[in-house]
Amino acid sequence: MKNYTKPSDEELRQRLTPMQYEVTQNEGTEPPHRNEYWDNTEEGLYVDIVSGEPLFSSNEKFDSSCGWASFDRPLVAENFTERTDNKFGMRRVEVRSKHADSHLGHIFNDGPTETGMRYCMNSAAMRFIPANKLEEEGYGEFAHLFQDKK
């Protein structure tokens, strides 16, 4: 397994867009339906934009009509931490990446699949790696997830 680490704040400010920085470092939220992956249907992996740790597979993505990328389960559960979020007068469960401590989004228990979960994620917190690029990007261990679908 790779060593997923969080770069310095200076490096993050240089490497990330203002929206990516705001979402991952300041617990921001991008606008619904105006983000990169909410309607992406391509096969591949979603990884933490900060550390590269694998988060979700497109196999677990579904259209929740909420305007953000939604998944019914994580790819590697050990790469997540959860916190109670009481902002905006509501109680939610915030999801963060374990190694970089990036804010990713929130979990809700209103998903339509057998898990009943909806991981509602900010596109700005993730980088998408197409299935045909997994080997060259260093994520070859996950290529088998997409081989039967070809």
Q: Which residues are catalytic?
A: 120
The closest of 70, 71, 68, 60 to 35, measured between CA atoms, is 68
Euclidean distance between CA atoms 141 and 62, whole angstroms:
23
For the chain, the farthest-separated pair of C-alpha atoms sits apart, in whole angstroms, at: 46
The closest of 73, 111, 108 to 94, measured between CA atoms, is 108
H or E element: which one contains 146? Answer: helix 144-147
The closest of 115, 23, 8 to 64, measured between CA atoms, is 115
